[in-house]
Amino acid sequence: MNIQGINHLALMSRDLDATVRFYVDIIGLPLVKAYQTGDVPKWEHNGAVLHDGGNLIAPRHYFVDLGDGSLLAFFDPGQGATLPEDFVSIPGAFHHLSLNVADEEALLAARAELKGRGIPVSGVVDHEFCKSIYLRDPDGRNLELSYFVRQVGGPDDLHDPNPLPIMTEQLALMTSESA
């Protein structure tokens, strides 16, 4: 495998708006991607998608750029969700680490290598802006290998059917700066 740095680090948040606002307004990192998961296939080793009595709980994901193209992602647990104890025990808990690979060929080669070693690994998941595979490390932490299929950071990347106020504000700024 040829790991090329961190793709994104994902953290759970009890108050998503306050957390994103802190990193955007206080730390000064740009908000580059926001979305709410929809019909993403569940994989038993990936805690990012939960089911509650058969109903998909769709958490929101907000990403800020760390300045080198790697991203920091914040998740809420989804509307009305009760998180299982092993998913997150306290706000700010580690959710998963995504490591960058060069391209689809590298991702598929890594998947084949992992499977060859008997390590459970997901199929390729298309997140629209990146493609990924998921596995767990020996301590049970979620690990993702990803590559970007396109750059993120424009107004088209900020969409959430129930947007946080910070997203609406950032969209207004992007629109006024491009005018």
Please state the separation of Cα 10 from the chain's center in Å.
6
**Range among 18-22, 54-58, 121-125 with highest mean pLDDT value:** 121-125
Q: Answer whether residue 144 shows pLDDT above 70.
A: yes
167-178 per-position pLDDT tens digit: 999 999 988 887
- The C-alpha R_g of the chain, in whole angstroms, comes to 16
What pLDDT is attached to residue 175?
A: 86
Between 77 and 161, the more confident residue is: 161
**Torsion of the alpha carbons at 99, 32, 129 and 115, rounded to the nearest 10:** 20
Find the range with the poorest average confidence among 15-29, 105-119, 143-157: 15-29
Task: Quickly tell me which residue has 């998608």 as its tokens.
Answer: 49
Q: Which amino acid is located at 75 in the chain?
A: F
Quick check: pTM over 0.75? no
Cβ within 8 Å of residue 147, ≥6 positions away: 7, 100, 101, 102, 103, 104, 106, 107, 130, 131
Q: Answer whether residue 43 shows pLDDT above 70.
A: no
d(CA 20, CA 168): 12
What is the average per-residue pLDDT within 102-114?
94
